[in-house]
Amino acid sequence: MSTTFDFSGRSFLVTGASSGIGRATVQLLRASGANVVAAARRVDELARLAEETGCEPLVLDVGDPAAIDAALGDLDAFDGLVNCAGITVLERAIDTKAESFDRVMAVNARGAALVARHVARGMIDAKRHGSIVNVSSQAALAALDDHLSYSASKAAMDAITRTLCIELGPYRIRVNSVNPTVTLTPMAVQAWSDPAKSGAALQAIPLRRFAQPHEVAEPILFLLSDAASMISGVALPIDGGYTAR
């Protein structure tokens, strides 16, 4: 992983920080000098991340609105937010369960919106200009088998991004989404280890490979940085060309 940004003196909240893209984002932000509050549900992994990076751990289930209010209500203002918390339930469209749909939407869409609400309010009150990045998915941009609930939640997240963009822009707060392809977190490595499953997916990606977590985290840092000072309201595919077809 490379570090090309200086976030010294800036503070960020990262949700879904205990693994994968969220974890890589915390690592890169800390390596770039940022103060980071790392939020997730897994106490053990948060403790390990805090020991490794010096981040401030925050146990939080973004699917619980009351927990969001309790956890974020008294925190100091941030300079930015990375909404990375997310869950996936894979079901055929004709087998979609109401409880599965509701749970995925509650975490991926509603949770992101409510966390952004708290962070944006704090930034506005403190007159801090900054950036919010929502970690969406290529599933918001292209149809995928068995992903109805997940795709709907990530499409909702992109819509949330656009609305936040126009409402927060006058306060000089930028809001963008990143939309990665399969990213090789530990769980994804196991899930896609069978060549019979991964072969077709890889053939659909012009670069013929999946993403590594740091390959998503680095564009996130770009969008958080002043180098992206005129970029807001975009959904940026990080998919090796998958959605170009």
Catalytic residues: 150
Give the single-character DSSP code of 144: -
**In residues, how long is the chain?**
245
Residues 6+ apart with CB under 8 A from 199: none
| Residues ≥6 apart with Cβ < 8 Å to 19 | 40, 42, 45, 185, 186, 187
CA distance 91 to 104: 12
- Residue 23 to residue 40: CA distance in whole angstroms: 10
Q: What angle do CA 57, 226, 172 make, to 5 degrees?
A: 85
SS3 172: coil
